[in-house]
Amino acid sequence: MFYNAAMELDRDLNVALVRGLFPPAPVARRGWEMLAATGVRGLRLVGETDAFERYDFHERSPAAFAVLERNVHESGHAGLVTHLGDSRQSVEERAFDYVDLDPFGTPEPFVNSALRALRPGGVLAVTATDMPVLAGVARGVCERRYGGRPIRGSQGPEGGLRILLAYLIREGARRSVELEPVLSYLHDHYVRVFLKSRTAPSENAADALMGDPSESGDAGPEISGSGPFGPMWLGPLFEGRLLARLEVPATAQRPAELRKLLDRLREESTVERPFYYEPNTLASELHLSEPPPLAPLLAGLRARGFAAARSHVRPSAFRTSAPRSVVQDAAQGLRPRS
Ligand SMILES: C[S@@+](CC[C@H](N)C(=O)[O-])C[C@H]1O[C@@H](n2cnc3c(N)ncnc32)[C@H](O)[C@@H]1O
């Protein structure tokens, strides 16, 4: 049965986030796990938060469903409802405050149903594990599936995250569901995003934040390969105020790792710039004999009046509000003296 210990941290974060998004309140909230497998994720969200009065699980595989039913029964929680079958065949329109779409591979076949099921003000959680597609190995598939041209190379995974966000935001807009990313992150083999639907329409802000990162010139890191790329979501990946109030739950299975990840995401959310720099790539671009040390580089950018923060995407990746020429200048200045 589907159970992957490496997903513990991912689910810990999901619990922390649902607690932050849905604090205890005298309202009857409903959650829906469209692809439940054996229910591990949903059961944690129900058991470790006070977010939901009712939580529905759909699972198509009879073998997984049998385990799901047993797990739900053994959990002893009230308000849990299980459904055997294709979740797309029984969408309850605008019924859910939280819809979780966690497929093997692409979420694309389920997005329409997920959006129809979401209540105004609700939160949509989406995983995509088709990273080769999103990160540029299968460019044609990415264009057909997500309507965006991917980046191949080191910026490919973040490009994929931003293509997925752009796709979901556009699909929402087509159905008058205005979505805003509240937390988006990248792991080796998947991306996961949480988007909140607005209750009041904004002034079309999303369109202004879609684009091709290679058109930003000196403003951001070099994007390798030949464009055009995207359209991608070039706006914030996180809602800083939400991140600020997330806590490590007492029930977390990997509390130290979750604390580290939350700290990193909070730091990262202070610099809302798409794409990241790495000391290694700077060294090869600038023909330095070794990568500039990260901490002095960040300090140097801050001393020049720019924001700079490490990113969760890679251990030595960082984002900055400084133009590329300033980043290069700061890196050059840290060259070892011979
Ligand atoms: C990645 S697993 C879900 C994992 C689960 N969310 C968790 O965190 O433990 C995807 C599941 O979706 C189920 N599935 C695939 N297509 C489905 C459909 N159309 N309706 C319902 N379930 C489906 C598969 O059988 C599989 O168990």
Structure token pair of residue 261: 């990840």
279-333: which CATH number, 3.40.50.2000, 3.30.1330.120, 3.30.56.70, 3.40.50.300?
3.30.56.70
Residues above pLDDT 70, as percent of the chain: 96
The CATH number of 5-250 is 3.40.50.150
Q: Whose CA is nearest to atom 26 of ligand 1?
A: 37
Domain boundaries, the chain: 5-250, 279-333
Checking if the pLDDT of 1 tops 50, the result is no
Q: Which residue among 4, 9, 59, 69 is best mutated to probe the pocket of ligand 1, counting the most ligand atoms within 8 A of its Cβ?
A: 59
pLDDT digits over 246-265, tens only? 999 999 999 999 999 999 99
Q: Which residue among 55, 60, 253 is best mutated to probe the pocket of ligand 1, counting the most ligand atoms within 8 A of its Cβ?
A: 60
290 CA distance to ligand 1 centroid (A)? 46
Helix crossing, 108-117 with 156-174: angle to 10°?
A: 40
* pLDDT bracket for residue 313 (50, 70, 90): very high
pLDDT on residue 293: 97
Residue 204, class by beta-carbon neighbours within 10 Å (0-12 exposed, 13-18 middle, 19+ buried)? exposed
pLDDT on residue 37: 98
Checking if the pLDDT of 2 tops 50, the result is no
Q: What is the mean pLDDT of residues 301-311?
A: 98
What b/e readout covers 250-266, taking b as 16+ CB neighbours within 10 angstroms?
A: eebebeeebeebbebbe
pLDDT on residue 337: 60
pLDDT on residue 6: 66
